[in-house]
Homo-oligomer: A and B are copies of this chain.
Amino acid sequence: MKKHIKHDPQACSKKMLPIQDALEILSGKWKLPILVALMFDVKRFSDLSKEIPRITDRMLSKELKDLEMNKLVKRTVYDTFPVTVEYTMTEYGRSLKKVIEALGEWGEKHREKIMSE
């Protein structure tokens, strides 16, 4: 039985906040699929709807709005008929790549570990 060292809760929550911010931005069932779909290409609403299995229009619309608010995705409307709207990943959105890769690498290892137990 080891000694229990007290943590400084102030310093701790200071570190926690950005972590939880980041996590919240990626959280939910659909944010990652959308971001990954946009990581390499520009896409329209209907493209995303087709490419992301089982997502509803409502969710897609809602999540895209969220991502736009956080400046990860840019929305461009073209004055065509019918209207077309393009969604692009911003440079800033691309800065998430490292985070997503870190998650992916760890997730891969985790799959192996849990499968082989």
Residues on A facing B (Cβ under 8 Å): 1-2, 4-5, 7, 9, 12-13, 15-23, 25-27, 32-33, 36-37, 40-44, 47, 51, 53, 70-71, 78, 84, 86, 92, 95-96, 98-100, 102-111, 113-114, 117
Given contacts A9-B51, A23-B32, A95-B109, contact A1 B84 (CB under 8 A): yes
Between A and B, 18 residue pairs with Cβ closer than 8 Å are A1-B84, A2-B86, A4-B41, A4-B47, A9-B51, A9-B53, A16-B32, A18-B103, A18-B105, A19-B103, A20-B32, A22-B104, A23-B103, A25-B110, A70-B110, A98-B106, A99-B102, A99-B106
Given contacts A37-B7, A70-B114, contact A17 B107 (CB under 8 A): yes
